[in-house]
Each structure stands twice: as C-alpha cells, then as structure tokens.
Amino acid sequence: MKLEIALTMSLVASFAIASPAIAQPNTGDLAQLRETKTCQRCNLNGADLSGIDLRGADLTDANLINANLSNANLQTADLRGADLTGANFQMADLTQANLNSANLSTANLLGTVLLDANLDSADLSKANFYGADLRRANFRGANIKEVNFFGANLEGAIGLEP
C-alpha cells in the first residue's frame, strides 16, 4: 500500500514538473503602464488591456505576447521592437503608432485603424489585417508572408509590391 502511494505521488510530481507554466504579466509592470503610460521592456505577456487608453504610450521592446488590446486606443504609441506575437488588436486604434521592428506574427488586427502607422521592418507573418485601415502605413522592409489583407484599405501604403 505504501509503495502504491509513493508511486502515485511520484507520478503526480513528475506531471507537475513537466507541465509548462502559463506566462503571466508582471503586476508591477501592469501598474506602471496604467499609471505612467511608460513601460519599456516590460513583461505584459497575456495581459488584458482591452479598451484601455494608451495614447502616446512608450512600450518600446515590451513583451506583449498574446496580450488582449482589443478596442484599445494606441494612437501615437511607441511599440518599437515590441513582441506582439499572437496579440489581439481587434478594433484598436493604432493611428500614427510606431511599430518599427515589432513582431506582430499571428496577431489579430481585424478592423484595426493603422492610419499613417510605421510598420517598417516589422514581422507581420500570418497576421490578420482583415478590414483594417492601413492608409499611408509604412511597410518598408516588413515581412508580409501569409498576411491577410482581405478587405483592408491600403490606399497610399508605402513599401507593398503591387
């Protein structure tokens, strides 16, 4: 009986050790962002920032992997070098945002406004820009492999091959 309990406990322990931890945003970084709108190199992995007003925020090199920024106001925000892999920007406003060298691979930007946004050298692979407003956006050097631009307004966009 003791042997069975010991084996069961070691089996349970091995599963607990082998299971990857779910990444969480740093609570201090979240508080700093909400108070100051400045959070360079912050860990906001998986953060729920939906509907938040981050106009002019500085999120340079921040980790926003799988973050929810749907309906957020990010006008003129600085997201240079930020990791936005898998982030949800559905219906967000990124007018004049700086996304230079940002990683937006697999991000959802459905209906997002990116008017005059800087996406220079950004990784946009497999991103969804369905119905997005991309007028006059800068795509020079961006990776647009397998990007969904269906229904997007690309009038005056720079750096896209016809």
pLDDT in tens, 5-17: 444 444 444 434 3
Average pLDDT, the chain: 89
pTM of the model: 0.85
* DSSP secondary structure letter of residue 108: B
Name the E strands within 29-96: none
| Structural Rg of the chain based on CA atoms | 19
Q: Give the integer Cα–Cα distance in Å for 154 and 34.
A: 32
Instruction: Encode pLDDT of 11-41 as tens digits.
Output: 444 434 343 445 688 899 999 999 999 999 9
Which residue, chain included where needed, has tokens 């060298």?
A: 101
